[in-house]
Amino acid sequence: MANFLRILGIETSCDETAAAVVARHEDGRGEILSDVVFSQLDEHSLYGGVVPEIAARAHVEALDGLIEEALHRANVSLDEVDAIAATSGPGLIGGLIVGLMTAKAMARAAGKPLFAINHLEGHALTARLTDGLAFPYLMLLVSGGHTQLILVRGVGEYERWGTTIDDALGEAFDKTAKLLGLPYPGGPAVEKAALKGDPDRFSLPRPLVGEARLDFSFSGLKTAVRQAATEIAPLSEQDVADICASFQKAISRTLRDRIGRGLMRFKQEYGGLDVDPALVVAGGVAANQDIRRTLQALCLEHGFRFIAPPLKLCTDNAAMIAWAGLERLADEQPADGLDVAPRSRWPLDAQAQTLLGSGKRGAKA
């Protein structure tokens, strides 16, 4: 292997269009040479959520320019990158087609290997880019479409320990915000309102707390929020703040139980590690400060390192896609053929039981 490898990454799975160039040095150290993201938030906020057709059209309009900008900022040409990586799933199929087809065309024209990357694998491996984390470790992925606790054993080796059986956590935040008349995206809006609220005013359920399995459930909590709001309608600004604070407290207490059990299982199965075990948190919901404090305290109690990559690398980005491609390239895993197809559903753990949230066909990714 040369002194370093460089990959161009492309991400178009949802409502961010992104391109990045990332290098992997001979010692395994990663370096982000460029990372360009175009947010479609303004286009979708009017509708209170992501509109797939609008997202796909925006990807078409923005992607070529973003790729050119990423190469320019990295001071490299397409001929100088070693491969091209693009998100191939899971996600909105229209956006995936745009990114993957663009990557295929560039790989064919430039004679470069193509790596079709699982978006979830990008999240799973980001901590190795930012912190040089060694295998194995636990990852909590919390976003608008995913809530999963995953054992990361190696590149391409993932075991799903827990998943949502209904709504993803980010979806629960968004739907709660919409119910209370707060703006999209819901997560930041709920968190901001909660700062002025009383977290003890409403007694909301802690779904699955006390159960041995490591799955999550948020649909019942969302229903309880609706019932609480209906009983005291019309809502004042303070009512909304109190509901948000109580909702956040219920989420944090639920995660404390669910993740705590996962940390104990990890220590039982991997008690002989030379370094303290690690919990990695990724996804847009990882920006919530109350959730972060809960997880940090939990890790401290159990002797785990708490690792949260910078926020821009927790949300959708192309740097993590490029890095996942570099991990596969450095591991001498085969590239993908130009006949590889995008997949709206694509579980990291193909052996896991089909549940909502698992990423399998017929269930949420």
Is the Cβ–Cβ distance between 348 and 159 less than 8 Å? Answer: no
Pairing of strands 114-118, 83-89: parallel
Q: What is the pLDDT of residues 44-68, one digit of tens each?
A: 776 677 887 888 998 999 999 999 9
pLDDT of residue 2: 55
pLDDT band with cut points at 50, 70 and 90 for residue 361: very low
Burial 198-210 (b: 16+ CB within 10 A, else e): ebebbebebbbee
Q: What is the pLDDT of residues 304-345, one digit of tens each?
A: 999 999 989 988 999 999 999 999 999 999 999 999 999 999
Which residues make Cβ contacts (< 8 Å) with residue 227, sequence separation at least 6? none
Q: What is the pLDDT of residues 256-302, one digit of tens each?
A: 999 999 999 999 999 888 888 999 999 888 889 999 999 999 999 99
Q: What is the pLDDT of residues 8-23, one digit of tens each?
A: 999 999 888 999 999 9
Across the chain, the runs of DSSP E, i.e. the strands, are: 4-11, 16-25, 30-39, 83-89, 114-118, 137-142, 147-154, 157-163, 278-282, 305-307
* Beta bridge partners of residue 38, listed in sequence order: 17
pLDDT of residue 360: 35
pLDDT of residue 188: 93
Pairing of strands 137-142, 278-282: parallel
pLDDT band with cut points at 50, 70 and 90 for residue 355: low
Residue 253 CB neighbour total at 10 angstroms:
15
Domains of the chain and CATH, by start: 4-128+312-330 (3.30.420.40), 134-310 (3.30.420.40)
Residue 250 has pLDDT above 50, yes or no: yes
Is the Cβ–Cβ distance between 99 and 86 less than 8 Å? Answer: yes
Q: What is the pLDDT of residues 126-160, one digit of tens each?
A: 999 999 999 999 999 998 788 999 999 999 999 99
Angle (CA) 150 156 159, round 5°: 25
Nearest to 123 by CA among 259, 328, 316, 287: 316
Annotate 117-128 with DSSP letters as a single string. Answer: EEHHHHHHHHHH
Residue 359 has pLDDT above 70, yes or no: no
